[in-house]
């Protein structure tokens, strides 16, 4: 079972979930090495520190089929992990039930996250939201990594949601 660092997984998740991007990160199931791809670059970019990899490895070749799920898995985005509007709704139901219908209404229109954060700021719940979101992200990433067969080291704290 390959080992990956939590900070690397969290960074890869952020890279994949960057707004308005087609970024992708693939993890080699055999080594745990992460391969970053972006439409801004013509070739696959390997941003890892692993210098002992041999240049003939799959990760160094842009013609490798990263869609081969037996060899690689793709780091999920926010929606794949139910960390988008589903998480907002869960937060509203659990932490601000008196305002949950207002939150639901906000998410029926464009610019929802900005307006949601404005509401949280007005209610003094913005910091609480950030902690809730971070804990849910940690828990979802750890569950995903375990499901994919990776051991994760360096988790900053135990996830609480």
99-144 residue pLDDT tens:
999 999 999 999 999 999 999 999 999 999 999 999 999 999 999 9
Judged by DSSP in three states, 39 sits in coil
104, 92 contact by CB (below 8 A): yes
Residue 150 has pLDDT above 60, yes or no: yes
Of the pLDDT bands very low, low, confident and very high (cuts 50, 70, 90), residue 31 is very high
* 3-state percent helix, strand, coil for the chain, nearest multiple of 5: 45, 10, 45
Six token digits for residue 83: 């960390």
Dist CA 31 CA 140 (whole Å): 22
Q: What is the DSSP letter of 45?
A: B
79: helix, strand or coil: coil
What pLDDT is recorded for position 156?
A: 80
Global pTM value: 0.81
Q: CB-based contacts of 47: which residues, under 8 Å, 6+ apart? A: 34, 36
- What the block records as the tokens of 67 is 């869609």
| Helices then strands, each counted (H, E), the chain | 5, 5
CB 140 within 8 A of CB 81: yes
């Amino acid at each position: 079972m390959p080992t990956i660092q939590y900070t690397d997984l969290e960074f890869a998740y952020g890279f994949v979930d960057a707004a308005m991007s087609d970024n992708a990160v693939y993890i080699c199931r055999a080594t745990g090495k992460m391969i970053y791809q972006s439409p801004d670059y013509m070739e696959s970019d390997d941003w890892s520190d692993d210098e002992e990899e041999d240049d003939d490895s799959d990760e160094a070749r842009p013609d490798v089929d990263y869609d081969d799920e037996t060899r690689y898995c793709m780091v999920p985005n926010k929606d794949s992990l139910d960390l988008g509007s589903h998480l907002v709704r869960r937060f509203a139901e659990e932490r601000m039930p008196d305002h949950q219908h207002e939150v639901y209404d906000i998410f029926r229109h464009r610019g929802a996250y900005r307006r949601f954060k404005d509401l949280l700021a007005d209610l003094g719940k913005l910091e609480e939201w950030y902690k809730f979101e971070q804990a849910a992200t940690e828990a979802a990433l750890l569950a995903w990594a375990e499901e994919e067969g990776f051991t994760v080291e360096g988790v900053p704290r135990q996830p609480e949601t």
